Amino acid sequence: MSRGYPTFLSPCWLGTDAGNEFPEHTAIGPVGQIIPWNFPLMLLSWKIAPALAAGNTVVLKPAEYTPLTALFSQKYVVRQGFPPGF
Mean pLDDT, each 10-residue run in order, the chain (86 residues)? 58 70 74 90 86 83 89 84 69
Provide the whole-model pTM.
0.60
Determine contact, residues 49/37, Cβ cutoff 8 Å. no
Determine contact, residues 64/73, Cβ cutoff 8 Å. no
What are the angstrom distances between the C-alpha of 21 and each of 9, 18, 39, 44?
Answer: 18, 9, 43, 35
